[in-house]
Amino acid sequence: GRIQVSKRAPSWQELETKYVTWNKVLLKETLENSLLSGQKSKPFIRLSLQEDTASLSQWRPVDCQPNETVAIILPYRDRDLHLRTFLYHMHAFLRHQEVTYTIFVIEQLNRTHFNRGSLLNIGFRESRRVSEFDCFIFHDVDLLSEDDRLLYRCRDQPIHLSAAISASNYKLQYEDYFGGVTALNRTQFEKVRGFSNFFFGWGGEDDDFYNRVQEKGYRVFRYPLDISRYTMLQHGREQLNQPNAIRKELLKHMKGQSKLDGYPECDYKVVDAGYRHKGLVYWISVEIPEKEVTSKFLRLLPLSDAARNHVKNQRAVIATGLPGIVKEFLKLFLRS
């Protein structure tokens, strides 16, 4: 049923105390005081021994053996408050549903424009560091599920979990909307070749992903809107995640072209990887070479001159490290 959603961001120490047991071998852990109204968290164990450090972030219910393992993939940069709120909510939510799961934080490090699609591709590829997962939940860090009837499991078709978001008055934004939280099994994700890596900044990659799913003959499944409800945490728009001004043009030229670009072509460098906060998350910090990726799509796609100039301007922002508003001021100053 309906869940009481807390927007509080507890400290990391509080999160570790609530959800983690520092046993060195497989031991039962009884968790009390679940977020779920009137319910106690299920007993959980780590799916590892002391020597298997990668698996310290994988959790499995004690009293049952789920049919699939689930990877929660979070694209991330500079959202510490949201992440702590998310973990406080989601560890209880997932344990209540008796899911074997790991939460992956995929952090974009370098000063380049945020690339959600690439980060989700990286999460899929690098999840093998922990396990061969069956089901992948691609999840924005600012969305919290409001109903435990919304199952965090995969089906025979891709699932759009976050159909009704508080910021949209719990209405589906548009029929083809496929953003926020989606679920695909390994076969489905590999068949559609994952997300495009060409969308820097906010928007476009989710619509392109919907096109890929449709082109491969899948039909998106959604739960009823009274179940697929999510609370969206409030936040501002960071300078390097402004709306992508050329997303519509990219969408037009990428339609039917998933073979050009997908998770196998994802270009990145892993800077750091390992479990953090006593296994609450498996954290992967990466760098994405924006100049190289944009050079690739400028070469492959017949973009307009305006779109190509936009890409050059975006590169200039990265090269100088100046926020856009300062750049505009300098342009006006130099003209005067």
Q: Which two tokens stand for residue 16?
A: 């570790």
Half-sphere exposure of 137 (CA within 13 A, CB side): 27
Closest CA to 153 of 67, 279, 91: 67
Cβ distance 71 to 102 under 8 Å?
yes
User: Could you give the CA distance from residue 331 to residue 326 in angstroms, rounded to a whole number?
Assistant: 9
Burial string for 51-67 (b: 16+ CB within 10 Å, else e) reads eeebbbbbbbbeeeebe
**Is residue 57 classed as helix, strand or coil in its secondary structure?**
helix
Helices (H), the chain: 12-19, 80-96, 116-126, 186-192, 205-215, 247-254, 290-300, 305-320, 324-335
Tokens 């400290």 -> residue: 11
Of 213, 87, 101, 86, whose CA–CA distance to 152 is shortest?
Answer: 101
DSSP-assigned letter for residue 162: -
Residue 124: exposed, middle, or buried by beta-carbon count in 10 A (0-12, 13-18, 19+)?
buried
Token pair 């200039």 is at which residue?
316
* Strands 135-139 and 69-76, sheet pairing: parallel
Provide φ and ψ at 74, rounded to 5°.
-110, 115
Q: Which residues are catalytic?
A: 140, 142, 202, 205-206, 232, 235, 237
Neighbours of 31 (CB within 10 A): 18
